[in-house]
């Protein structure tokens, strides 16, 4: 016995959602089946509006709604235009915003790469990044704010090489997020690399 086709089709679509397998996908479908028509219509409308209303900022590639070409962060006159922070995606941008410790601008790279192969690197917004840096000489520091994972490290390494000329020729600083023990971290369980970074970055 299998699910009827309308149910199976929607299970298949939900199974493609990040972190979702067929079991959770089927729970989603039965959850929707139990909902009244109005709630289903609200969901359909919200998915529809997402594509229709959300725009991408012409400077930093952040998602936003509005009549302008630039997102609220890029438009905000109180942001520090000498700082550019490169992040992988919107979620990471929001994580940094939540710290309230960063007041510069952002650039969303779109993703990370695990290998420095041409085919992979072409999926990053490299040309756009170079263009932004060239046309904005006021930028004094470029912060590479990527995960400390293998992917994040490979991508950061690539960016460091790419941005080196800007550093050398124009005196721009290229920095990375500090590494060390996270909140709650214990020396006993820290790997040697993390602990080395924590020692080197002691303050």
Identify the residue among 70, 154, 162, 177 touching a second copy (CB under 8 A). 177
Site for a second copy in 10-29 (CB under 8 A): 10, 13, 17-19, 23-24, 26-29
Nearer to a second copy, 169 or 183 (CB): 183
First to last CA, the chain: 64
Cα dihedral 139/141/119/61 (nearest 10): -50
Q: Where are the alpha helices (DSSP H) in 18-149?
A: 22-34, 37-53, 72-75, 90-99, 118-121, 126-135
Q: Three-class SS of residue 142?
A: strand
Nearer to a second copy, 33 or 116 (CB): 33
- Binding flag, residue 136, a second copy (CB under 8 A): no
Q: Which x/- pattern over 144-163 shows residues binding a second copy (rule: CB under 8 A)?
A: -xxxxx--x-----------
Rg over alpha carbons for the chain, rounded to the nearest Å, is 21
Nearer to a second copy, 117 or 203 (CB): 203
Please give the size of the binding site for a second copy, defined by CB under 8 A: 90
Tokens 């609200």, residue located: 42
In the complex, minimum distance from the CB of residue 65 to a second copy, in angstroms, rounded to a whole number: 4
Nearest to 135 by CA among 79, 58, 195, 73: 58
CA distances from 137 to 140, 161, 170 (A): 8, 19, 9
In the complex, minimum distance from the CB of residue 120 to a second copy, in angstroms, rounded to a whole number: 16
Identify the residue among 15, 75, 102, 121 touching a second copy (CB under 8 A). 102
Site for a second copy in 103-122 (CB under 8 A): none
Nearer to a second copy, 135 or 199 (CB): 199
Give the separation between CA 3 and CA 152, rounded to whole angstroms.
Answer: 40
Neighbours of 17 (CB within 10 A): 11
Nearer to a second copy, 135 or 184 (CB): 184
Nearer to a second copy, 42 or 131 (CB): 42
Q: Which x/- pattern over 55-94 shows residues binding a second copy (rule: CB under 8 A)?
A: --------xxxx-----xx-------------xxxxxx-x
């Amino acid at each position: 016995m299998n699910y009827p086709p309308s149910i199976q089709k929607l299970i298949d679509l939900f199974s493609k959602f990040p972190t979702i397998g067929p079991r959770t996908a089927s729970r989603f479908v039965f959850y929707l089946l139990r909902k009244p028509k109005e709630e289903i219509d609200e969901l359909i409308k919200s998915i529809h509006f997402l594509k229709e209303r959300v725009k991408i900022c012409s400077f930093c590639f952040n998602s936003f709604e509005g009549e302008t070409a630039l997102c609220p962060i890029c438009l905000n006159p109180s942001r520090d235009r000498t700082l550019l922070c490169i992040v992988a995606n919107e979620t990471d941008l929001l994580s940094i915003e939540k710290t309230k410790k960063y007041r510069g601008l952002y650039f969303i790279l779109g993703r990370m790469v695990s290998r420095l192969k041409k085919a992979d690197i072409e999926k990053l917004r490299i040309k756009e990044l170079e263009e932004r840096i060239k046309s904005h000489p006021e930028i004094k520091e470029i912060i590479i704010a990527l995960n400390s994972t293998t992917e994040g490290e490979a991508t950061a390494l690539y960016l460091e090489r790419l941005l080196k000329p800007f550093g050398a020729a124009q005196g721009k600083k290229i920095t990375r997020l500090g590494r060390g023990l996270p909140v709650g971290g214990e020396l006993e369980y820290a790997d040697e690399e993390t602990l080395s970074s924590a020692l080197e970055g002691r303050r």
